[in-house]
DNA sequence: AAACAGTGCAACCGCTCTGAC
DNA sequence: TGTCAGAGCGGTTGCACTGTT
């Protein structure tokens, strides 16, 4: 028997949400909480289906959502988690505080995936693939740096290592070898040891503390040898918990709406006050103006930037937060091709 | 200036999972 | 045990924006 639709087809609005609809939804949830999505639209006076309301809330209006560009640490975390978990966006999102699975999925598909491909890395298997490598830039280098290629030793098969070694001695071989790369990649895909999702997932749950308010920080800090992967998360959560701890739920909801609709666009309230509060907060000042241990600056611009449909907001800056440029991230992804495994993952336990 | 192509992302779709009854 | 509603998930789409010709 087919399931009845969650909403009637007629009379239900689709498409981008308006500020008025968002306001209704937030106000309703402020009073009643996020429950019973089927009846919520009617009770809240919205011409939307419950599912649409739930998605809008969970992916956009929820107060504990961080908006804006992904930080360097977040991107690093996503890539490493994806190599273990695959396209399990919710599982990845559970380890990235204040990011939604939808946002991570979109960011992966529009940024990280393409960057990995350009750097010759298969975004599905995270194994090297010469047929996706941006060979034009590779060949145009005055001296092809094959030592990086040799550093792929973690996952490359012996054939790849022999190729890299021979190329280091005789770069002219490259073009000839490239003609064979289809065959090479066919072998590579079959031989390269690739993380098996079901193999690692349970161990990951045990070894990597989840970054949620109930357990993340103590658990994470108690594991002094946790990988760099999670250190970024812990730093971020520490920051997030400072942000949330001083606010009531309703305060948080209010500031969430104000961050969605900044003051310059709507006069819904104290967006400027929020920013003032942030700047006056000692911990925020130190975090915002300083650098973390990795030397990447945090910026609360990400929290307050462009979280609403673009037709309601002015253009956002194209610059990265944290001072990361596209080139820097490109280089970082190149370095990721070294395939360093997280220290917290003991491969012997899995094999 | 106009046309076109490429990009990014919010939102939707269809399916599965889970728990109540 | 089967049915159903609610919720969650991953894949896909539509469209506004941006860059290029």
Distance from residue A23 (CA) to nucleotide B2 (C1'), in Å?
39
Domain endpoint, select from A168, A196, A224: A196
Asked if residue A293 and residue A267 are part of one domain, the reply reads yes
The answer to whether position A121 is within a domain reads yes
Whether the full predicted model's pTM is greater than 0.75, yes or no, is no
Domain endpoint, select from A196, A224, A253: A196
Asked if residue A263 and residue A180 are part of one domain, the reply reads no
A331 CB below 7 A from strand C atoms: no
CATH number at residue A49: 1.10.10.60
Asked if residue A283 and residue A241 are part of one domain, the reply reads yes
Q: Quote the domain boundaries for residue A94.
A: 74-196
Nucleotides of C under 7 A from a protein CB: 3-12, 15-19
CB atoms < 10 A from the CB of A320, how many? 19
Total count of domains within chain A: 3
Domain endpoint, select from A161, A196, A231: A196
A103-141 per-residue burial string, b: 16 or more CB within 10 A, e: under 16: bbbebbeebbbebbbebbbbbebbbbbbebbeeeebeee
A36 CB below 7 A from strand C atoms: yes
Output DSSP code: residue A111: I
A210 CB below 7 A from strand C atoms: no
Asked if residue A82 and residue A56 are part of one domain, the reply reads no
Render A161-225 in DSSP notation, one character per residue.
Answer: HHHHHHHHH-TTHHHHHHTTHHHHHHHHHHHS----HHHHHHHHHHHS---STTTHHHHHHH-TT
Asked if residue A133 and residue A88 are part of one domain, the reply reads yes
Residue by residue, pLDDT tens for chain A (351 residues) are 323 334 444 567 888 888 888 888 888 888 887 777 878 888 888 888 888 888 888 888 888 788 777 888 888 888 888 888 888 888 888 888 888 888 888 888 888 887 887 777 777 777 776 555 545 444 444 444 444 444 444 344 444 444 444 444 343 444 344 444 444 444 444 443 334 434 444 444 444 433 333 333 333 333 333 333 333 333 333 333 333 333 455 555 555 555 555 443 433 333 333 333 333 332 323 223 333 333 333 333 333 333 343 334 333 333 333 334 555 555 555 454 443 434 333 333 332
Asked if residue A190 and residue A126 are part of one domain, the reply reads yes
């Amino acid at each position: 028997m087919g399931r009845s639709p969650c909403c009637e087809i007629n009379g239900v609005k689709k498409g981008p949400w308006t500020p008025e609809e968002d306001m209704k939804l937030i106000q309703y949830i402020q009073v009643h909480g996020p429950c019973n999505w089927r009846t919520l639209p009617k009770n809240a006076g919205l011409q939307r289906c419950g599912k649409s309301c739930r998605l809008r809330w969970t992916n956009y209006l929820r107060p504990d959502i961080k908006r804006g560009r992904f930080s360097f640490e977040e991107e690093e975390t996503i890539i490493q988690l994806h190599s273990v978990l695959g396209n399990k966006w919710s599982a990845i999102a559970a380890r990235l505080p204040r990011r939604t699975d939808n946002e991570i999925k979109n960011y992966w598909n529009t940024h990280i995936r393409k960057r990995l491909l350009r750097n010759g890395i298969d975004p599905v298997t995270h194994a090297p693939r010469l047929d996706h490598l941006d060979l034009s830039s590779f060949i145009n280098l005055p001296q092809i740096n094959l030592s990086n290629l040799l550093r792929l030793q973690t996952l490359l098969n012996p054939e790849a290592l022999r190729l890299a070694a021979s190329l280091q001695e005789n770069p002219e071989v490259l073009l000839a070898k490239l003609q064979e790369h289809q065959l090479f990649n066919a072998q590579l895909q079959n031989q390269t040891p690739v993380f098996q999702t079901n193999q690692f997932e349970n161990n990951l749950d045990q070894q990597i503390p989840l970054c949620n308010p109930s357990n993340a920080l103590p658990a994470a800090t108690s594991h002094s040898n946790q990988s760099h992967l999670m250190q970024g998360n812990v730093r971020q959560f520490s920051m997030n918990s400072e942000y949330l701890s001083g606010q009531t739920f309703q305060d948080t909801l209010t500031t969430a709406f104000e961050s969605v609709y900044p003051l310059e666009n709507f006069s819904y309230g104290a967006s400027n006050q929020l920013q003032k509060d942030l700047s006056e907060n000692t911990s925020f000042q130190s975090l915002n103006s300083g650098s973390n241990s990795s030397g990447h600056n945090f910026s609360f611009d990400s929290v307050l930037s462009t979280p609403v449909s673009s037709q309601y907001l002015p253009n956002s800056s194209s610059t990265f937060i944290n001072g990361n440029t596209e080139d820097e991230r490109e280089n970082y992804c190149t370095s990721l091709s070294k395939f360093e495994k997280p220290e917290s993952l003991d491969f012997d336990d899995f094999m």
